[in-house]
Amino acid sequence: MRLPSIFFMLLAFLFSLSSVALTFEPTLDDPAQEAHANALFREIRCMVCTAESIHESKTELAQDMRTLVRTKITEGLSDQAIKDYLVERYGYEILMSPPFVPLTYMLWLGPVLLLLLGITLILLFSRNRRT
């Protein structure tokens, strides 16, 4: 399928050159959309530099991912759909925050369960001592 050149021209219309993550790259013209994109960048990990999100990272991969996210936003995809798209290709590692799926139930619920267990044990012990 060949994309009409008009498509590229329209894309160019939506982007302007400005600075993000301290590099120059095309950003979206609509500030609300760009702010939305920026918020989403913070939730996606840069696969090359371990602790940074693509909001901070200067690597080539991060730049391209930002371009992708912006494109997908202009295409109207929801945040979840964009994340699913990336997870399909890169795995769960691509998300800064692990999702709440069966695989990660113990991660999210573990601490709370321990807290409840602890409180229960303390109450049990104190009741034992009283009788």
Partner 1 sequence: MQRIVLFLPFSVALLLMVMFGVRLTAPETPPQQQSRMIGKSLPTQSIEQLNEAEPLSASDLKGRYVLLNVFASWCAVCTLEHPNLMALNHPELSLVGVNWKDKKVNANGWLTRHGNPYDTVIWDYDGRWVVELGVTGAPESFLVSPDGTIIYHYAGALTPQLIEHEILSRLP
Partner 2 sequence: MIATLGNLGLLSALILALIQSYPSPWRPRTLAALTCSSLWLAMLCLIWGYIASDFSIENVFLNSHEAKPLLYKITGSWGNHEGSMLLLNAILGCYGLALACKKAPYQSATTSLFNLIFLGFLGFSFFTSNPFVVLSPPPEVGQGLNPLLQDIGLALHPPILYIGYVGFSIVFASTLIHIYHHHLDQNWARFIKPWVVFSWGFLTLGIGLGSWWAYRELGWGGFWFWDPVENASLLPWLCATALVHSLLVLEKRNHLPQWTALLAILTFTLCLVGIFLVRSGILTSVHSFALDPERGMYFLAFLAIALCGSLGLLVYKSTATSANKTPFKLLSKEGSLLFNNLFLTVLCFTVLLGILYPIIIEVIYATKISVGSGFYNASFNSLSFPLLALLCIAPYLNWKHEKKLSTHLKSLAPTLLLTAIAFSWFWIQEVTLMCLLGLTLGIAVMLSTLTYLWKQTRQFKQFKTQPSSFYRMIIGHFGLGLLAFSISANSAFKQEKDLVFTLGQTHEIGQFNITLTDMHLDTGANYFTRRGIFSVQDRQNQLVTHLLPEVRYYVAEAQNTTESDIYYSLWHNLYIAMGDTEDAIEFAVRIYIQPFINLLWLACLLMTISGIWGIRSKR
**Selected binder of partner 2 within 13, 51, 75, 80 (CB under 8 A):** 51
In the window 77-116, what residues touch partner 1 (CB under 8 A)? 88-91
Tokens of 12: 């160019």
Return d(Cα 33, Cα 27) in angstroms, integer: 10
Of partner 1, partner 2, none, which one does residue 60 interact with (CB within 5 to 8 Å by kind)? partner 1
The first and second tokens of residue 27, run together, are 């950003």
Give CA 13 to chain center in angstroms.
26
Host H or E run for residue 14: helix 5-14
Binding site for partner 2 (CB under 8 A): 17-24, 43, 45, 48, 50-52, 56, 58, 91-93, 95-98, 103-104, 106-108, 110-112, 114-115, 118-119, 122-123, 126, 129-130
